[in-house]
């Protein structure tokens, strides 16, 4: 059974950082890329980055370079997305989603984590 379980909502001040978790089933964690996609209120989804099932460093959208870090914990099958220097424009629902590669479709999504910055 595919499961992507995300951490709960966060409220942050501008300039702070947020770290969101996404716990996957073992099969998903070991065989699929985990991507991060965010969606601001009333806006289109925006791809932020991804990490491969073999680990290593993440692949990030240029616009988030320097502010985003995606990591994995193999002991808990959990992927983390850390976003720093938060501003009000970062207020959004953040989704983790799985895909078979970096260039891909997303066939399963987490329920989303609301991050409010104010």
Partner 1 sequence: EIQMTQSPSSLSASLGDSVTITCQASQDIGNYLNWYQQKSGKAPNLLITEASNLGTGVPSRFSGSGSGTDFTFTIIGIQPEDIGTYYCQQFDKLPLTFGGGTKVEIK
Q: Which residues bind partner 1 (CB under 8 A)?
A: 35, 44-47, 59, 61-63, 95, 97, 102-107, 109-112
Residue 111 beta carbon to partner 1: minimum distance, rounded to whole angstroms: 7
CA separation, residue 51 to residues 16, 40, 82 (Å)? 23, 22, 13
Nearer of residues 38 and 72 to partner 1, judged by Cβ: 38
- DSSP-based three-state secondary structure for 113: strand
Residues facing residue 75 across a β-bridge: none
Nearer of residues 14 and 100 to partner 1, judged by Cβ: 100
Nearer of residues 16 and 68 to partner 1, judged by Cβ: 68
Which tokens hold the place of 6? 């995300």
């Amino acid at each position: 059974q595919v499961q992507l379980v995300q951490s709960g909502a966060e409220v942050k001040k501008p300039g702070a950082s947020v770290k969101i978790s996404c716990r996957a089933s073992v099969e998903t964690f070991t065989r699929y890329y985990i991507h991060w996609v965010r969606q601001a209120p009333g806006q289109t989804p925006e791809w932020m980055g991804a990490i491969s099932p073999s680990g290593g460093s993440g692949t990030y959208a240029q616009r988030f370079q320097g502010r985003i870090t995606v990591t994995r914990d193999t002991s808990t099958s959990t992927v983390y997305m850390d976003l720093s220097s938060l501003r009000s424009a970062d207020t959004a629902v953040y989704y983790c989603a799985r895909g078979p590669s970096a260039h891909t479709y997303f066939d399963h999504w987490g329920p989303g984590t609301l991050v409010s910055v104010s």
